[in-house]
């Protein structure tokens, strides 16, 4: 008789080998005697997935038995990157797999390189979701992630003649071994149609008669915690044509058209919007938002009803977290389901809604705030528009009681914007209905309180909080920098820091120890050599690992000021070119590395990419300069590129105009990896300074409170000399394409320098010189700063962030699967 316990998969090398070969033969359908690296990768990931699924089942059975309050994390974007190494490490069996593969003649590392990135998101906000999933699992929280399964992730960036071109990322082409399709878990999602009023129980009730129905099918992605058996779920919805159609009345022509039209339903989950800044009220985007929200809400309510029959208990069992305003249609959707389908009174439903929702906002600028035209919303979701109007009606009444007839204030705060295009302000809707609104750093919250949501803060100060962002050390150190991890564990005498980052502080005691310094430098050098090889493979350019690697990788945006970096490089180039031979010998050789994508419609950002290439072309081919200065643009920046670049960087730049980066999480990844920061006092950097001290980084530029005055000044004052000189070279066509770059130059000249590049240029150069020419030559001091950076990075683990959210916002407790 087979025992259930025997069903558990074994992790010794022989069992793992057999398992991999079974998958080669039966899952990948290749001969176990002959398969290549990619096929081996596929078999290996299926073997890992089997183990994930086993834990996933155990975790969910345990959650079901214990019935804790659950957190549901709703996000339109999850930027997960690769899964293989992360999963194998979190399962605690990476080394066993490596051994098993060695005996089969394969290398784990090489197979891991076969995996493509899951790029279901744009940038910071989407990595926030991914890091949070890892921390939620590791900390044993009973949580679910919900999102959309895009067929095309973020576009691939191809550079032709220095210009960015976008290519579709059809990431599912080669199958996705990490997901499980769950056909039985599917829900009908309705669109369009009309709302009818029906008599019910002596009263009236609303019935939404849809014009279109689309099926949402669940795809589950297991997320394993580290050092725990807990494995939680990321459920992504895919759109399929619905069966809810009567097709019999069609003749042949109608029939064909009807089938084709039904097929169009799939477009809802076909493509990720590549903009992360300015919102455009597009019908498809609205449908995407509602589609994933409706399926998720149905799933959450179904799970609740499986074991409860009283909706008054709902807030004790359910917390819904909205990642920015993108999923905020969940609010009217929950109201609709509770009132129209579960037949609760409006008041009962409203009380529940006010207790379950919280949100995080990731922006500082009004352009990022979503506004849905009323006409569009009324056509796609007629019942939701009514509900939003009703919520707004009571809200405006409350406002009148509180502030009197202050019409300006009422019109600013109303959920409905009365403008040329009457619209629904999704941020206002979220603030009205969420019990907590979180910013992502201390200064971000200040900006929300004093500017973006000032009126709301005056009404409900208790709603506004911040939780400084963090990133997961499992991916950003353990997966991406095994060398440094080994060293950290050796010197701390434990690897417990992988679940408790505060322990890294212990490195402070050894920061000047010559032996650690030696080993630290060695590990960092190996990472630099790996990066140099990658650069050569990607761009054909040879760079020396002896040079300082100076890196800026992130989305291209005017506020992130890649242009400041490039103008700084031009200035440096010009200085070197005009130097005497004897002075040249004193220059610290530098490799400047820039990477990042521009939104396809963002003209200025695209010009910045071209400028970077044009300047690189000139500098890199100038024999006067040689190895003293190189400029490399790394194409198609994504999560796995970041994993390789970050550990090999000496300094990294986080140079946004103060007050524009809500938090900035890239800096935290560099910090953990012992890379020194060259930064402005913006977003989370302000808190990083508190942890590691100003002396261990290179700070420059205007402070948040100085920016408004400086902007006025910039209108009336000329540019600093060095800045004018660098800019003139671009204007005068030193790098060709002068017509193309004209608007870029105009944007920072003649008083229009909104992001204050001119103002910050001198102090930027000073910080660069302090970094390069002074600190870098003193390798002992540099290594000490590097060790202290890692040592001070504990606070920026997403474990800390998630712990704060759990405790202060969601009210959830760990629920650790015992076996
Ligand atoms: C509405 C649509 C246009 C839109 C789509 C994506 C709007 C915003 C976004 C994404 C925003 C985003 O990624 N924000 C970043 O969030 C990070 C995590 O909190 C922050 O570290 C970073 O400063 C912020 O820009």
187-242, pLDDT tens digit by residue? Answer: 999 999 999 999 888 888 999 999 999 999 999 999 999 999 999 999 999 999 98
How far apart CA 48 and CA 438 sit, in angstroms, is 36
**If you average pLDDT over residues 303-317, what whole number do you get?**
97
Return the residue whose CA atom lies nearest to atom 4 of ligand 1. Answer: 276
Tell me the CA–centroid distance for residue 815 and ligand 1, in Å: 31
* pLDDT tens by residue, 638-689: 999 999 999 999 999 999 999 999 999 999 999 999 999 999 999 999 999 9
Residue 8: pLDDT band (50, 70, 90) is confident
- Residue 368 CA: which ligand 1 atom is closest? 7
pLDDT in tens, 155-192: 999 999 999 999 999 999 989 999 999 999 999 999 99
Q: For ligand 1, what atom is nearest to the CA of residue 77?
A: 6
Residue identifier of the C-alpha nearest atom 1 of ligand 1: 279
CA of 361 to the centre of ligand 1 (A): 8
Whether residue 69 is predicted with pLDDT greater than 70 in this model: the reply is yes
Q: What is the CATH number of domain 68-81+117-468+804-810?
A: 3.40.50.2000
The candidate with the shortest Cα–Cα distance to 671, out of 655, 639, 649, 656, is 649
Q: Quote the ligand 1 centre to 83 CA distance (angstroms).
A: 23
Measured between alpha carbons, how far is 436 from 619 in angstroms, rounded to an integer?
A: 51
Query: Which ligand 1 atom sits nearest the alpha carbon of residue 275?
Result: 3
Q: Which residue's alpha carbon is nearest to atom 12 within ligand 1?
A: 125
Is the separation of the CB atoms in 327 and 300 below 8 Å? no
The closest alpha carbon to 512, from 491, 482, 486, belongs to 491
pTM over 0.95: yes
Q: Give the model's pLDDT for residue 256.
A: 84
Same fold yes or no, 68-81+117-468+804-810 and 473-796: yes
Mean pLDDT, the chain, as a whole number? 95
Integer CA distances (angstroms), 130 to 92, 579, 802, in order: 20, 48, 12
Judged against a pLDDT cut of 80, whether residue 43 lies above it is answered with yes
Q: Which of 208, 376, 167 is nearest to 284 (CA)?
A: 376
Q: To test ligand 1's pocket by mutation, which of 276, 443, 802 has the most ligand atoms within 8 angstroms of CB?
A: 276
Q: What residues contact 304, with CB distance under 8 A and at least 6 apart?
A: 314, 317, 318
CA of 275 to the centre of ligand 1 (A): 9
Structural domain spans, the chain: 68-81+117-468+804-810, 473-796
What is the predicted pLDDT for the residue at 251? 78
Ligand 1 centroid to residue 128 C-alpha, Å: 9
**Which atom of ligand 1 is least distant from the CA of 661?**
23
CA atoms of 239 and 330, how far apart (whole Å): 18
Give the nearest ligand 1 atom to 126 CA.
13
Ligand 1 centroid–CA 222 distance in Å is 25
For a ligand 1 pocket test, name from 368, 655, 683 the mutation site with the most ligand atoms within 8 angstroms of its C-beta: 368
Task: Give the span between the Cα atoms of 531 and 191, in whole angstroms.
Answer: 49
Distance CA 381, CA 392 (A): 17
Neighbours of 531 (CB within 10 A): 23
- Encoded tokens for 47: 């073997």
- Give 594's pLDDT tier (boundaries 50, 70, 90): very high
Token duo for residue 571: 């200035």
Atom 8 of ligand 1 has which residue's CA nearest to it? 276
Residue minimizing CA distance to atom 3 of ligand 1: 279
Q: Radius of gyration over alpha carbons of the chain, in Å?
A: 28
Q: What is the pLDDT of residue 250?
A: 64
CA distance 11 to 9: 7
List ligand 1's pocket residues with C-beta within 6 A.
122-125, 128, 275-279, 362-363, 368, 370, 440, 469, 661-665, 683
Task: Tokens for 558, please give them.
Answer: 């005017």
Residue-wise DSSP of 751-781: T--TT-HHHHHHHHHHHHHIIIIIITT-HHH
Q: Choose which CATH entry (3.40.718.10, 3.40.50.2000, 3.60.21.10, 3.30.420.40) describes domain 473-796.
A: 3.40.50.2000
Cβ distance 218 to 144 under 8 Å? no
**Got the DSSP string for 621-678?**
T-TTTGGGEEEEEESS--HHHHHHHGGG-SEEEE-PPTT--S--SHHHHHHHTTPEEE
CA of 274 to the centre of ligand 1 (A): 11
What pLDDT shows up at residue 2?
61
pLDDT at residue 365 in the model:
86
More confident site: 592 or 258: 592
Strand partners, 551: 593, 652
Give the pairing type, strands 78-81 and 118-120.
antiparallel
| Distance in angstroms (rounded) separating the CA atoms of residues 108 and 205 | 60
Helix H or strand E encompassing 81: strand 78-81
Element (H, E) at 322: strand 318-323
pLDDT at residue 770 greater than cutoff 90? no
Catalytic residues: 362, 554-555, 560, 665, 669
Alpha-carbon distance of 497 to 800, in angstroms, equals 12
């Amino acid at each position: 008789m087979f025992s259930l316990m025997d069903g558990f998969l074994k992790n010794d090398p022989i069992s793992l080998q057999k398992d991999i070969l079974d998958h080669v033969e039966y899952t990948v359908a290749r001969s176990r005697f002959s398969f290549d690296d990619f096929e081996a990768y596929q078999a290996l990931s299926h073997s890992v997935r089997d183990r994930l699924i086993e834990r996933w089942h155990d975790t969910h059975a345990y959650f079901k038995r214990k019935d804790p309050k659950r957190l549901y994390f709703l996000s339109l974007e999850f930027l997960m990157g690769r899964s293989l190494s992360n999963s194998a490490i979190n399962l605690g069996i990476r080394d066993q797999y490596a051994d098993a593969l060695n005996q089969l003649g394969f290398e784990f590392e090489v197979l891991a390189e076969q995996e493509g990135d899951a790029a279901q998101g744009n940038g910071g906000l989407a990595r926030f979701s991914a890091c949070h999933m890892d921390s939620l699992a590791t900390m044993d929280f009973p949580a679910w992630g919900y999102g959309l399964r895009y067929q095309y992730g973020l576009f691939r960036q191809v550079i032709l003649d220095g210009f960015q071109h976008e290519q579709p990322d059809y990431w599912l082409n080669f199958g996705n071994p990490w997901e499980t399709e769950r056909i039985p878990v599917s829900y009908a999602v309705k669109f369009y149609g009309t709302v009818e009023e029906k008599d019910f129980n002596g009263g009236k009730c609303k019935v939404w008669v849809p014009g279109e129905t689309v099926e949402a099918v669940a795809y589950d992605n297991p997320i394993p915690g580290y050092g725990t058996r807990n494995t939680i779920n990321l459920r992504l919805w895919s759109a399929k044509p619905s069966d809810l159609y009567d097709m019999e009345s069609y003749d042949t022509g109608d029939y064909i058209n009807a089938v084709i039209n039904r097929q169009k339903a799939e477009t809802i989950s076909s493509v990720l919007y590549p903009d992360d800044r300015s919102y455009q009220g597009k019908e498809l985007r609205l449908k995407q938002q509602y589609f994933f929200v409706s399926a998720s809400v149905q799933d959450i309510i179904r799970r609740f009803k499986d074991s409860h029959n009283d909706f008054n208990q709902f807030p004790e069992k359910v917390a819904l977290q909205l990642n920015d305003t993108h999923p905020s249609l969940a609010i009217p959707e929950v109201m609709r389901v509770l009132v129209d389908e579960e037949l609760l009174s409006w008041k009962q439903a409203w009380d529940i809604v006010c207790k379950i929702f919280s949100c995080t906002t990731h922006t500082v600028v009004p352009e990022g705030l979503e506004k849905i035209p009323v006409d569009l919303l009324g056509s796609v979701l007629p019942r939701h528009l009514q509900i939003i109007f009703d919520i707004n009606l009571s809200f405006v009444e409350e406002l009148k009681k509180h502030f009197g007839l202050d019409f300006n204030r009422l019109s600013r705060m109303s959920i409905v914007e009365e403008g040329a295009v009457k619209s629904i302000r999704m941020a206002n809707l979220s603030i009205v209905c969420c019990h907590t609104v979180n910013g992502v750093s201390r200064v971000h919250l200040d900006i929300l309180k004093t500017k973006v949501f000032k009126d709301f803060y005056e009404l409900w100060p208790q709603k506004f909080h911040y939780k400084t962002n963090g990133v997961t050390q499992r991916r950003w150190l353990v997966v991406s920098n095994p060398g440094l991890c080994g060293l950290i564990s050796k010197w701390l005498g434990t690897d417990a820091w992988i679940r408790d980052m505060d322990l890294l502080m212990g490195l402070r005691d050894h920061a000047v120890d010559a032996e650690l310094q030696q080993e630290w430098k060695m590990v960092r050098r190996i990472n630099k050599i790996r990066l140099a090889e990658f650069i050569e493979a990607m761009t054909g350019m040879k760079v020396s690992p002896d040079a300082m690697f100076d890196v800026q990788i992130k989305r291209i945006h005017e506020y992130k000021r890649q242009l400041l970096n490039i103008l700084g490089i031009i200035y440096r180039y010009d200085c070197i070119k005009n130097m005497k031979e004897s002075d040249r010998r004193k220059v610290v050789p530098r490799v400047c590395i820039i990477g990042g994508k521009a939104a396809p419609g963002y003209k200025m950002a695209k010009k910045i990419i071209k400028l970077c290439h044009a300047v690189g072309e000139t500098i890199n081919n100038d024999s006067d300069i040689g190895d003293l200065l190189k400029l490399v643009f790394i194409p198609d920046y994504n999560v796995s590129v970041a994993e390789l670049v970050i550990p090999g960087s000496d300094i990294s730049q986080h140079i946004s105009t103060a007050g524009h980066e809500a938090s900035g999480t890239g800096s935290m990844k560099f910090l953990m990896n012992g890379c020194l920061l060259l930064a402005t006092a913006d977003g989370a950097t302000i808190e990083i300074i508190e942890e590691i001290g100003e002396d261990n980084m290179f700070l420059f530029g205007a402070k948040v409170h100085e920016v408004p005055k400086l902007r006025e000044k910039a209108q009336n004052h000329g540019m600093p000399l060095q800045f004018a000189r660098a800019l003139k070279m671009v204007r005068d066509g030193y790098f060709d394409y002068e017509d193309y770059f004209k608007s870029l130059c105009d944007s920072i000249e003649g008083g229009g320098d909104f992001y204050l590049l001119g103002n910050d240029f001198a102090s930027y150069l000073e910080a660069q010189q302090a970094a390069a020419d002074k600190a870098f030559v003193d390798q002992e001091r540099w290594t000490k700063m590097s060790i202290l950076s890692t040592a001070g990075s504990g606070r920026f683990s997403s474990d800390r962030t998630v712990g704060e959210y759990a405790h202060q916002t969601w009210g959830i407790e760990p629920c650790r699967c015992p076996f």
